Chains A and B, each alone.
Chain A
Amino acid sequence: GAGVSQSPRYKVAKRGQDVALRCDPISGHVSLFWYQQALGQGPEFLTYFQNEAQLDKSGLPSDRFFAERPEGSVSTLKIQRTQQEDSAVYLCASSVSTGGAYTEAFFGQGTRLTVV
C-alpha cells in the first residue's frame, strides 16, 4: 500500500480482555516500530523489529504486552488482560533504515484503545 496501515482504528475493550492490534508497514521497509501515546503526551517507544527479528523490546510496559512480526512484514501487538492504564493510541511506524542512523519514519494513523 501507499502508507502504513493500522487496524482497527478504534478498539473498546472490557478490562481483562485480550486485544490484538495490526500494522501493515510500507512494502520493503525493514524496520518497524511500535509506540504508545497517552493523551497530551509524546509517543513512547515500545518495541522495534528489523525484518522478523525483535531487536529491542525494552519499552514494553509489562509481560502482558507481546509483539511479533513472523514474516518480516505485518506486525501484531497483543495486549493480554487489558487494564485501564493501557488506554492510549498505539502507533506503528516503518522505515527503510537499518543500523544506527535512522532516516524518517512513516507512521500509521494509530489505533485508539479504550479499556472500560
Chain B
Amino acid sequence: SQQGEEDPQALSIQEGENATMNCSYKTSINNLQWYRQNSGRGLVHLILIRSNEREKHSGRLRVTLDTSKKSSSLLITASRAADTASYFCAVNSGNTPLVFGKGTRLSVIA
C-alpha cells in the first residue's frame, strides 16, 4: 500500500506560473523525498528533506515539511514547459525502503 498521497492528482498551469503540489503521509518519518518522472522514463530525485527540517530550496524548487500535520509541499516557481512530468513524494520511515504516493501529473502549457 502507498503511504504518501499527493494532491492534486493533476495540475495544469501556464508557463511562468508557480505550481504547488502537496503530499500527506501517515507515520513518523526519517525523511521525505520528491521525485520527478517524465513519460516513459525512470524517476529522478529532486530534493530530500529530513524530519528535523522545515524548509529546503534547490534552484526553482522549494519544499516544506510539517511533521505535526504529516504533510509536505513542493513549489516550482516560474514553471517551464520542460517541467511537465509526474511528481511523486516518497517517505522513508525506520528501516523500510521508500514508499511512494500516486503522484501529481503536472502539465505546463507554453
Interface residues of A (CB under 8 A from B): 4, 33, 35, 40-45, 48, 56, 91, 93, 99-110, 112
The residue in chain A whose Cβ has the minimal distance to the Cβ of B31 is: A101
Nearest Cβ distance between residue A95 and chain B, in whole angstroms? 9
Complex CA distance for A20 and B52, rounded to whole angstroms: 41
Task: Kindly report which residue of chain B lies nearest to residue A107, judged by CB atoms.
Answer: B42
Residues of B within 8 A of A102 (CB): 30-31, 92, 97-98
Q: Is the interface of B mostly helix, strand, loop or mixed?
A: loop
Kindly state the separation between the CA atoms of A7 and B41 in the bound complex, as whole angstroms. 14
Task: Using A56-B96, A107-B43 as known contacts, list a sample of 6 further A-B pairs with CB atoms less than 8 Å apart, ordered by residue number in A.
Answer: A41-B103, A42-B4, A91-B42, A102-B97, A107-B42, A110-B41
B97 close to A42 (CB less than 8 A): no
Task: Assign chain B's interface to a size class.
Answer: 20 to 34
Pick the residue among B4, B41, B45 that contacts A105 (CB under 8 A): B45
On whether A105 and B98 interact (CB within 8 A), knowing A42-B88, A43-B43, the answer reads yes
A33 to B92, CA, bound (A): 13
Please measure, in the bound complex, the distance between the C-alpha atom of A26 and the C-alpha atom of B96, giving whole angstroms. Answer: 21
CB-CB under 8 A from A110, the residues of chain B are 41-42
When the two chains form their complex, are residues B95 and A45 in contact, meaning their CB atoms are under 8 A apart?
no
Residues of A within 8 A of B44 (CB): 107
- Chain B residue numbers with a CB within 8 Å of A40 are 102
